[in-house]
Chains A and B, each alone.
Chain A
Amino acid sequence: MAMHQPQPDLPPPVAERGALKWLRENLFSTWYNSVLTIVVGYWLLSTLIPLIDWAFISAVFSGDGPEACAPGAACWVFVQQRLGFFIYGFYPDELWWRPNLVFALFALAVVPQFLPIAAAIRKWLAIFGLTGLPVAAYFLIAGGHFGLESVDTSRWGGLMLTLILAYVGIIAALPIGTLLALGRRSEMPIIRGICVVFIEFWRAVPLITILFMASVMLPLFLPEGVTFDKLLRALVGITLFQSAYMAEVVRGGLQAIPKGQYEAAEALGLGYWRRMRLIILPQALKIVIPGIANTIISLFKDTTLVLIIGLFDLLGAVKSTLSDPAWDNVMAEGYLFVAFCFWVFCFGMSRYSHRLEKNLDTGHRS
């Protein structure tokens, strides 16, 4: 008995499968798409190939000095030779272990947040990162206690300074911004007025005017003889500036919470602070995670402005070495190095915020 054996299906036509299909659908779907693909593709190839050649293939990565470099190729020797200064600024060489230890603690608190580890451990590490780490970092880097040699803030610099400014700014700006947002939504008219004026003022003026005031004019407003450390003042300026932005982001979240949530919380008999802390803020902050992340990223980028008031952050440290006549035209290398450092941090933070948003999404969004 002969069973009916169906012929295997014919494969789809060549143009409808695999790479060809993908190409046709994604690059050459219409005539103008084809033209666009060819133009953009040609432009990309003609810029990227020489760039990659300059930056990687012909580039010199290590050597002892400017002599090691070749013309027409990137001279990463410059970065390699000055890396110590770029990372630590004027911080004494023999004490580099102290910032290094802080970096290690920082990594310990932050890296596990991206790894699949038990949530409880991650939570405790995060709490350590927000509370214990800044304190430990201060004692380690500034010294002056526990037998550690004191290092003046004018010697702090480089990437270390950038990270300090950014980290302290981030930790302080979120709570201050939240308080301001609550104040702006408050039912008490005077409190609301104060918060509105405060927020609008800081949002309207450029950060460098604020830094200028903080760095050279502040003593004029204070009683004679009262001064603060220059770094601290820059830090306060950046933090207040960004907390005003943070306040507006958080306010957006507060406004998005349905009125029923406020009323239900009140009906439970909770006091104002408990209502906010237990019911409203957890929901509001979750909604605005992307906004918070953006504010944090712009705070991180804004730390570069301290170079205008004479602090040597990463950009300032690199820029100050670029005028060295011994190195002929290493500007592009220097700036690209700084750009790469900032890009890694900022891009990493924005990816993390996407992940956080997804993880915390409970599907209650309307």
Chain B
Amino acid sequence: MKKTIMTVGLATAGLVALGGQAQAATLDDVRDAGQLRCGVSTGLPGFSQPDSDGNWTGIDVDTCRAVAAAVLGDAEAVEFVPLTAAERFTALQSGEIDMLSRNTTWTTTRDASLGLNFTGTNYYDGQGFLIDEALGIDSAEQLDGAAVCVQAGTTTELNLADYFRANDMEFEAVVVDSSEASAQAFDNNRCDVLTSDTSQLAALRTQLSDPDGAVILPEVISKEPLGPVVRQGDDEWFNVVKWVLFGQINAEEYGISSANVDEMLESDNPNVARILGTEGNMGEILGLDDDFMVDVLTQIGNYGEMFERNVGPNTPIGLSRGVNELWTEGGILYAPPFR
């Protein structure tokens, strides 16, 4: 028995001792572990979706992979942790994951009181409504008394209540825990309307048994800037995740893509040279290798490529760039310069 006590004591002592020296930064932790733990959605086509072999695809997934490519040089060195909307912040706060990339809306509360930092926006979205075409509804203002399917623990849930209250309408919130479950509940006619970010609605529509029978109403009732999130109190890691995304947007602006990275390495344009690390020490001051963007661009590509591949017009999701176009093209994507 004494032996048992000794063992337990030693084990605990070991744990605490480990804690003493493990005040290391996330960047070092990721390097030590050799892989990035990234929280993603449990399954949302175009954003993060596993296939039957467990391979993940989507724009949120690619955002994780880009960070892994920048930090570890290998876009595949990611452990994807599927999280429901309700679990995601707790998992990030507790240190269960290194970053969260799960169509998460940037809001004041989340920034200030949850102990989180949003590193940017990888998709500008807004909340909409999906409804059965046969009901003959053409505006969200006709939804009084409807049963609405909504995901638990999202900003959508709050906007929904706000919108119906502002328009003096009643609704019944059918709350489900994941986006697949919301699509399933809508498909089974548990609710009349499905509400979510419009991009998600487009994605979820592909999962319905009759995708063409459902329409997205014209109203967009909120601003939903979706982006990657990290914990507060680790500025180094915050900068890394932030600048990988900025790097991808800048790369698109200067015409660097996975196809032409090698040629661009020879480029005389000082902006291109700074992004690719042939000039200046942008990588070094971020705590990375100077050519970190080369790894990102060869393995993942620039922002435009990431968009086209996962949610663009040629995918089943079929979204157009819209406001997610570069500022030079009439959109609002505007990344600070590499300098």
Closest Cβ of chain A to B204, distance in Å, is 10
List CB contacts (< 8 Å) of B71-122 with chain A.
79-84, 87, 90-91, 93-96
Report chain B residues within 8 Å CB of A220: 93-95
Q: Which of A154, A216, A224, A225 contacts B96 (CB 8 A)?
A: A216
Closest Cβ of chain B to A232, distance in Å, is 13
Interface size class of A (residues with CB under 8 A): 20 to 34
Report chain B residues within 8 Å CB of A310: 42, 81-84, 87
Q: Are A224 and B19 in contact (CB under 8 A)?
A: yes
Contact A226 B54, CB 8 Å, known A216-B91, A216-B94, A325-B207: no
How many residues from B make CB contacts under 8 Å with A?
35
The answer to whether the Cβ of A31 comes within 8 Å of any Cβ in the partner chain is no
Report chain B residues within 8 Å CB of A212: 87
The answer to whether the Cβ of A194 comes within 8 Å of any Cβ in the partner chain is no
Q: Is the interface of B mostly helix, strand, loop or mixed?
A: mixed
Report chain B residues within 8 Å CB of A323: 180, 183-184, 207
Q: Are B184 and A227 in contact (CB under 8 A)?
A: no
The answer to whether the Cβ of B18 comes within 8 Å of any Cβ in the partner chain is yes
Q: Are A226 and B83 in contact (CB under 8 A)?
A: no
The answer to whether the Cβ of A286 comes within 8 Å of any Cβ in the partner chain is no
A92–B91 alpha-carbon span in the complex (Å): 27
A23–B233 alpha-carbon span in the complex (Å): 79
Q: Are B95 and A223 in contact (CB under 8 A)?
A: no
The answer to whether the Cβ of B53 comes within 8 Å of any Cβ in the partner chain is yes
Q: Are B209 and A325 in contact (CB under 8 A)?
A: yes
Report chain A residues within 8 Å CB of B15: 222-223, 226
The answer to whether the Cβ of A328 comes within 8 Å of any Cβ in the partner chain is yes
The answer to whether the Cβ of B166 comes within 8 Å of any Cβ in the partner chain is no
Q: Are A325 and B54 in contact (CB under 8 A)?
A: no
List CB contacts (< 8 Å) of A212-235 with chain B.
212, 215-220, 222-227, 230
The answer to whether the Cβ of A152 comes within 8 Å of any Cβ in the partner chain is yes
Max chain A C-beta neighbours (<10 A), residue from B1, B83, B90, B208: B90
Q: Are B87 and A219 in contact (CB under 8 A)?
A: no
Q: Are A219 and B94 in contact (CB under 8 A)?
A: yes
Closest Cβ of chain A to B35, distance in Å, is 10
The answer to whether the Cβ of A98 comes within 8 Å of any Cβ in the partner chain is no
Report chain A residues within 8 Å CB of B180: 320, 323
Closest Cβ of chain B to A219, distance in Å, is 4
Give a binary string over A151-173; 1 marks a CB under 8 Å from any B CB, 0 the rest.
01011000000000000000000
A218–B93 alpha-carbon span in the complex (Å): 11
Q: Which of B23, B90, B209 contacts A224 (CB 8 A)?
A: B23
Max chain B C-beta neighbours (<10 A), residue from A215, A225, A325: A225
Report chain A residues within 8 Å CB of B134: none
Report chain A residues within 8 Å CB of B79: 152, 154
Give a binary string over B26-37; 1 marks a CB under 8 Å from any A CB, 0 the rest.
000100000000
Q: Are B22 and A223 in contact (CB under 8 A)?
A: yes
Report chain A residues within 8 Å CB of B1: 273
The answer to whether the Cβ of A198 comes within 8 Å of any Cβ in the partner chain is no
The answer to whether the Cβ of B24 comes within 8 Å of any Cβ in the partner chain is yes
A325–B184 alpha-carbon span in the complex (Å): 10
Q: Which of A154, A223, A273, A309 contacts B16 (CB 8 A)?
A: A223
Contact A223 B20, CB 8 Å, known A216-B87, A216-B90, A217-B90: yes
Max chain A C-beta neighbours (<10 A), residue from B23, B82, B96: B96
Report chain B residues within 8 Å CB of A154: 54, 79-81
Report chain A residues within 8 Å CB of B142: none
A222–B81 alpha-carbon span in the complex (Å): 20
Q: Which of B22, B43, B87 contacts A225 (CB 8 A)?
A: B22
Q: Are A225 and B91 in contact (CB under 8 A)?
A: no
A310–B86 alpha-carbon span in the complex (Å): 12
The answer to whether the Cβ of B52 comes within 8 Å of any Cβ in the partner chain is yes
Max chain B C-beta neighbours (<10 A), residue from A154, A216, A230: A216
Q: Are A225 and B93 in contact (CB under 8 A)?
A: no
8 pairs of residues in contact across A and B, judged by CB atoms under 8 Å: A215-B91, A223-B18, A223-B19, A225-B29, A310-B82, A310-B87, A323-B183, A323-B207
Q: Which 4 A-B pairs have the closest CB atoms?
A: A223-B19, A225-B22, A90-B54, A219-B95
